[in-house]
């Protein structure tokens, strides 16, 4: 992987991750007349739950569903200046112009997986998936050194049903200035499990899934994708490395290669499930930056709100109001469907 760092017209950082060296280099200049980024966010703690809420009112003005010929994530072309000054790219990461975190508390990146506007993550080559993984690991390492960053969360939102407003294949990286509630809960469970049983809870779950196999979707040499035994969503998959690592930076070469094969198989099954692109959220659960890294086990979680060809799952009273999920399918049924379309 070849890494080149440049600056956009308003001073934001952009990083190109190329699969082969480019003799001409990355020299394109952002010639847009952009005002300085004006963003202010704050973190408020809910006094009733103790959970943090990010207030980022400036995001109301972010780009919303532009036509393909005005996509800001495509490469720059004659007569069309975009967020990416170069005429082509492999993988590119840049500071979000409308960040959820601003003012020195946290950070937000945009990650473009390909310059092809009409593609998707499922259509990437294994090599490109590996490049995306390298970029995410590189940014995880860099963001983890920033003062105030407590956890790095790379994720992809895909599909209008999820709320996506830019259709170009892309994801984001949030560097939280706190450890999110979901992670705090998982760390507490991992600590209690270790104290009682001596092992890691996800390691023990993985061993049980290998023995049972009813919920296994894809198994590779170094990763297994399975439906969690208490799946919340109508499509819900965990992709877990067989070796415990804290975050993406600790994966070795063979693990990164195998992930590409396993994850692409999962995504292609997801798209085949209803004969149409599946809307989903896919996010990397990594260890906090500064504490409890021995309690974390890196894994990717993918879930979808689509529960049938023409039906979506909406978070209603129980889910939204009390965080108690009600699933219309059993985890075993979900796994059966995903295996069947393979």
Q: Which two tokens stand for residue 107?
A: 């950070």
Q: For position 310, which CATH number holds?
A: 3.30.428.10
pTM for the complete prediction?
0.96
Whether the predicted pLDDT of 104 surpasses 90: no
- In the predicted model, what is the mean pLDDT of residues 10-21? 96
Q: What confidence tier does 148 reach under pLDDT thresholds 50, 70, 90?
A: very high
Domain termination residue (choose one: 179, 202, 220):
179
pLDDT, tens digit, 9 for 90 and up, residues 177-198:
999 999 999 999 999 999 999 9
- Coil, strand or helix at 238: strand
User: Is 71 known as a binding-site position?
Assistant: yes
Of residues 58, 107, 167, 170, which has the active-site annotation? Answer: 170
When divided into structural domains, the chain yields a total of 2
Q: Both 148 and 202 in a single domain?
A: no
Q: Where are the beta strands (DSSP E) in the chain?
A: 2-7, 13-18, 42-45, 52-55, 91-95, 107-112, 151-158, 170-176, 216-219, 223-226, 235-241, 280-285, 299-304, 306-308, 311-312
Whether the predicted pLDDT of 339 surpasses 90: yes
For 66, phi and psi rounded to 5 degrees? -70, 155
Q: Both 175 and 247 in a single domain?
A: no
Q: Both 85 and 24 in a single domain?
A: yes
User: Is 270 known as a binding-site position?
Assistant: no
- In the predicted model, what is the mean pLDDT of residues 60-75? 85
For 276, residues 6+ apart whose C-beta sits below 8 A from its C-beta are: 309
Lowest mean pLDDT segment, chosen from 26-40, 87-101, 132-146: 26-40
Q: 90-126 burial, b for 16+ CB within 10 Å, e for fewer?
A: bbbbbbbbbbbbbeebbbbbbbbbbbebeebbbbbee
For 18, phi and psi rounded to 5 degrees? -105, 145
Whether the predicted pLDDT of 1 surpasses 90: no
Active site residue 170: yes
- In the predicted model, what is the mean pLDDT of residues 10-26? 93
Q: Which H/E stretch holds residue 203?
A: helix 201-212
- In the predicted model, what is the mean pLDDT of residues 241-261? 98
């Amino acid at each position: 992987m070849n890494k080149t760092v440049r600056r956009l017209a308003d001073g934001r950082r952009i990083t190109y991750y190329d699969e082969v060296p480019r003799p001409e280099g990355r020299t394109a200049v952002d010639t847009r007349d952009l005002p300085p980024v004006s963003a202010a966010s704050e973190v408020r703690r809910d006094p009733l739950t103790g959970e943090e809420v990010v207030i980022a009112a400036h995001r109301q003005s972010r780009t919303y569903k532009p036509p393909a010929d005005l996509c800001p994530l495509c490469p720059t072309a004659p007569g069309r200046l975009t967020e990416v000054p170069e005429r082509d790219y492999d993988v590119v990461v840049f500071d979000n112009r409308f960040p959820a975190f601003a003012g020195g508390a946290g950070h937000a990146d945009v990650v473009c997986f390909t310059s092809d506007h009409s593609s998707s993550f499922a259509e990437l080559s294994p090599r490109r998936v590996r490049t995306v993984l390298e970029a995410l690991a590189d940014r995880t390492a860099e963001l983890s050194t920033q003062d105030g960053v407590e956890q790095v969360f790379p994720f992809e939102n895909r599909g209008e049903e999820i709320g996506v407003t830019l259709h170009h294949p892309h994801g984001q990286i949030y560097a939280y200035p706190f450890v999110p509630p979901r992670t705090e809960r998982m760390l507490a469970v991992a600590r209690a499990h270790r104290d009682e049983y001596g092992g890691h809870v996800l390691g023990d779950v993985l061993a049980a899934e290998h023995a049972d196999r009813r919920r296994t979707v894809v198994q590779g040499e170094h990763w297994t994708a399975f439906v969690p035994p208490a799946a919340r969503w109508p499509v819900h998959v965990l992709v877990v490395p067989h070796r415990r690592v804290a975050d993406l930076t600790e994966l070795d070469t063979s693990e990164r290669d195998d992930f590409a094969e396993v994850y692409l198989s999962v995504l292609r099954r997801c798209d085949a499930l209803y004969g149409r692109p599946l809307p989903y959220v896919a996010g990397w659960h990594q260890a906090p930056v500064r504490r409890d890294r021995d309690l974390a086990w890196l894994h990717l979680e993918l879930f979808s709100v689509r529960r049938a060809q023409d039906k979506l799952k909406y978070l209603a009273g129980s889910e939204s109001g009390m965080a108690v999920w009600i699933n219309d399918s059993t985890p075993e049924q979900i796994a059966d469907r995903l295996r069947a379309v393979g």
